[in-house]
A = this chain, B = another copy of it.
Amino acid sequence: MDPIICTVDVVLLTLQGESLQVALIRREFEPHQGELALPGGFVRANEDDDTRAAALRMLRSKTGISAPYLEQLHTFSGRTRDVRGWSLSVVYYALVPHQVMSAEVVLLALDQLPPLPFDHRAMVDLAEQRLRSKSQYSSLPCHLLEQPFTLPQLQRVYEILLGEALNKVSFRRKIDEMAMLEPVDGEFTVGQAHRPAQLYRLKPAFGQQLQLLARGL
């Protein structure tokens, strides 16, 4: 039986201004050396406890990012996706606020990607689909903002992900229903010529644990 090539890839997403962006790095080795691709690499049986640990190792070593929101996305596999042979990639997606994105990566808007090697484009597309879909009924978008943040900021993030304007009253009812935020003393002044907004942070329990809504958005 031929050996199977086991890799992990990470779709690292962030929100820069109004656009959803993915972090790409230049490949160090063949195949596709020098091309922009997702951070990833071989699973190391002697180093990694599991594929999640492998994904965290890829992120730390290739982008310097250490504690993102991270979730398994899908496993891609097949005979033809890598010229080196029958291969399998366990793909994770990660969300970070753009402030923590390191200078080691190239950030590109999802709608302006060049051709990517392997099936990395399909991975990015699936991650985008998952993120937008989960934004309809979960607290996932919180992880794109640096804490603490204000409710108007959070609402803007949801609106960008869902591609539609949201009703302010309803939005706040839903956020309240999720019961994941707690107010922080101190405000959002920064000398803006208007009423400052209350700052919030995620309650400690919601580091990786998502909160879901019974009836969506």
Contact = CB atoms under 8 A, between A and B. Distances in A.
Interface of A: 1-4, 6, 42-46, 49-52, 72, 74-75, 77-79, 85-86, 88, 90, 214-216
B90 A75 contact: yes
A85 B216 contact: no
B90 A42 contact: no
Number of copies: 2
A85 B43 CA distance: 14
Contacts of A6: 4, 6, 88
B2 A46 contact: yes
A51 B2 contact: no
A49 B79 contact: yes
Nearest to A43: B4
A50 B77 contact: yes
12 contacts: A1-B46, A3-B3, A6-B6, A45-B85, A45-B86, A50-B77, A50-B79, A51-B77, A51-B88, A75-B75, A88-B88, A214-B216
A86 B43 CA distance: 10
A50 B72 contact: no
